[in-house]
């Protein structure tokens, strides 16, 4: 029997969805895959809840905005340096937000853990940080959910490379929020109306500047570039922000109130689009040369033309997919779909470990 012990960072939207799937499915995994999955600990910013007796209660508690410290926590660092149960592999599952977990992930892997991420932060820092992580983890890193949620984007890049294909360029519309806003603007809404709609439909973060700044797309572009094998510093990607000048630091209320000030300039940009093209917010990651993130006039006849809502589109131009490109599209966000990507990774680790043991 294979035994997997999880230390999970984050019990937010994605973290709770992952824990729910594991609690619901693990009996079947034990019967069908001979795989036993248990939780060593779950953590939030207040510390680590050790063991899994209180996990169902912790999930409900976090749904209401509680802190795990109220259920009794220990320092997460202590858990990460402890040994796994004999006969178990340990997987650190980082479902926290952005920075702040790099050192914790490092501590876990220095202690022999595998690492699964939906958090883009640890893979989108400096080249030094990235290389330090990769040196320790050449065969112990899984991160499907960092880009495209549950869609097989990272595994497609890995499979293309492993099969001997050569990726010339990836073009992507990897932000559901920006995809929605661009198609709403194209449909006749003003920029400010489109942003308001994205917030009301929960496609955008409550403060839409988190999406409009382009930073999230730039982080995904770095991860795609690095997965392709490129060495790249975050500073090499001059991403275009759609946050109007002067509204970067005002309150959220003032931002929404004053957003219509930007409508005219955005409209002017829209009418300047070449015939047969549409305005899209894209990441372009060539094999060599500058990576670009920002607004681009895009042919209507491209895979990005049909975007009409919050879907993501990834288009791979490779040696084998050159006359017709390989395109993956679908919903690129949502806690349950993202959790699926994380669970695919966990099951893939279990398969890999079994195969390695048999060899
Ligand atoms: N939601 C999606 O559709 C989606 C899709 C793809 C990728 N992702 C990525 O997945 C991650 C999780 O997203 P989410 O929507 O679940 O976010 P969320 O609801 O804000 O939850 C984040 C969780 O991480 C915890 N956390 C933050 N810093 C931590 C630290 N240093 N140590 C331990 N826990 C820490 C938070 O604790 P507190 O509760 O104490 O604040 C919270 O439980 C993010 O990185 C996001 O970018 C999300």
Q: Are residues 112 and 215 in the same domain?
A: no
Q: Are residues 118 and 177 in the same domain?
A: no
Q: Are residues 93 and 181 in the same domain?
A: no
Q: Are residues 143 and 205 in the same domain?
A: no
Q: Are residues 327 and 178 in the same domain?
A: yes
Number of domains comprising the chain: 2
| 41: CATH | 3.40.50.720
pLDDT in tens, 242-257: 999 999 999 999 999 9
Residue closest to 282 by CA, chosen among 327, 240, 230:
240
- The atom number, within ligand 1, closest to the CA of 62 reads 39
- H helical segments located in the chain: 13-33, 55-63, 76-81, 102-110, 127-136, 154-162, 176-186, 191-200, 209-212, 215-228, 252-258, 263-271, 335-358
Whether 349 and 142 have beta carbons less than 8 Å apart is answered as: yes
Q: Are residues 182 and 258 in the same domain?
A: yes
Q: How many angstroms separate the CA atoms of 58 and 47, rounded?
A: 12
Mention every residue, 6+ apart, whose C-beta is less than 8 A from residue 99.
Answer: 121, 125
Question: What is the per-residue pLDDT for 145?
Answer: 96
How many angstroms is it from 338 CA to the middle of ligand 1?
Answer: 11
Question: What is the per-residue pLDDT for 149?
Answer: 92
Q: How many angstroms separate the CA atoms of 231 and 233, rounded?
A: 7
Question: What is the per-residue pLDDT for 309?
Answer: 82
* Whether the CB of 177 sits within 6 Å of ligand 1: no
* Whether the CB of 101 sits within 6 Å of ligand 1: yes
- In what side-by-side order are the strands of the sheet with 311-318? 292-299, 277-286, 167-173, 311-318, 326-331
Q: Could you identify the residue written with the tokens 């959790």?
A: 339
Strand partners, 171: 284, 315
Q: Are residues 180 and 143 in the same domain?
A: no
Q: Are residues 184 and 301 in the same domain?
A: yes
DSSP assignment of 212-272 equals HTSHHHHHHHHHHHHHHT----GGG--PPP-SPTT-SSS-HHHHHHHGGGGHHHHHHHHHT
Question: What is the per-residue pLDDT for 202?
Answer: 84
DSSP assignment of 158-185 equals HHHHHTT--EEEEEEE--HHHHHHHHHH
pLDDT in tens, 248-291: 999 999 999 999 999 999 999 999 999 999 999 999 999 999 99
Minimum CA distance residue for ligand 1 atom 39? 44
Q: Are residues 220 and 327 in the same domain?
A: yes
- Which residue range forms the structural domain that includes residue 12? 2-149+336-358
Q: How confident is residue 353, by pLDDT bands cut at 50, 70 and 90?
A: confident
Query: pLDDT at residue 71 above 80?
Result: yes
Q: Are residues 308 and 194 in the same domain?
A: yes
* Whether the CB of 240 sits within 6 Å of ligand 1: no
Q: Are residues 143 and 169 in the same domain?
A: no
Q: Could you identify the residue written with the tokens 């953590």?
A: 43
Q: Are residues 143 and 162 in the same domain?
A: no
The answer to whether 135 is a known catalytic residue is: no
| 275: CATH | 3.30.360.10
* Whether the CB of 148 sits within 6 Å of ligand 1: no
Minimum CA distance residue for ligand 1 atom 15? 13
* Whether the CB of 11 sits within 6 Å of ligand 1: yes
Q: Could you identify the residue written with the tokens 């570039």?
A: 225
How many angstroms is it from 202 CA to the middle of ligand 1?
Answer: 16
Q: How many angstroms separate the CA atoms of 331 and 350, rounded?
A: 26
């Amino acid at each position: 029997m294979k035994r997997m012990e999880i230390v999970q960072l984050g019990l937010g939207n994605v973290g709770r969805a992952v824990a729910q799937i594991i609690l619901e499915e693990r009996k079947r995994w034990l019967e069908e895959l001979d795989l036993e999955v248990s939780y060593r600990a779950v953590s939030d910013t207040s510390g680590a809840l050790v063991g899994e007796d209180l996990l169902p209660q912790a999930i409900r508690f976090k749904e209401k905005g509680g802190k795990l410290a109220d259920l009794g926590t220990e320092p997460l660092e202590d858990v990460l340096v402890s040994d796994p149960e004999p006969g178990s592999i340990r997987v650190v599952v980082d479902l926290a937000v952005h920075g702040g977990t790099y050192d914790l992930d490092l501590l876990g892997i220095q202690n022999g853990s595998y690492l699964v991420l939906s958090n883009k932060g640890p893979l989108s820092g400096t080249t030094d940080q990235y290389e330090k992580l990769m040196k320790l983890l050449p065969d112990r890193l899984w991160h499907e959910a960092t880009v495209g949620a549950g869609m097989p984007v990272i595994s497609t890049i890995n499979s293309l490379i492993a099969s001997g294909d050569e990726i010339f360029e990836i073009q992507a519309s990897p932000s559901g929020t920006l995809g929605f806003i661009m198609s709403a603007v194209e449909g006749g809404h003003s920029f400010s109306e489109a942003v308001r709609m994205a917030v009301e439909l929960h496609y955008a973060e409550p403060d839409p500047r988190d999406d409009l700044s382009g930073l999230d797309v730039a982080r995904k572009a770095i991860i795609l570039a690095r997965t392709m094998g490129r060495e790249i510093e975050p500073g090499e990607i001059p991403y275009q922000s759609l946050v109007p000048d002067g509204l970067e630091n005002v309150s959220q209320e003032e931002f929404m109130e004053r957003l219509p000030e930007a409508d005219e300039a955005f409209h002017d940009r829209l009418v300047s689009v070449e015939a047969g093209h549409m305005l899209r917010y894209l990441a372009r990651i060539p094999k060599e040369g500058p990576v670009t993130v920002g607004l681009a006039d895009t042919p209507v006849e491209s895979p990005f033309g049909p975007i009409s809502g919050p879907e993501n589109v990834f288009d791979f131009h490779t040696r084998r997919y050159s006359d017709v490109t390989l395109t993956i599209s679908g919903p690129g966000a949502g806690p349950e779909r993202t959790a699926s990507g994380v669970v695919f990774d966990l099951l893939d680790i279990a398969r890999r470990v079994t195969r390695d043991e048999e060899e």
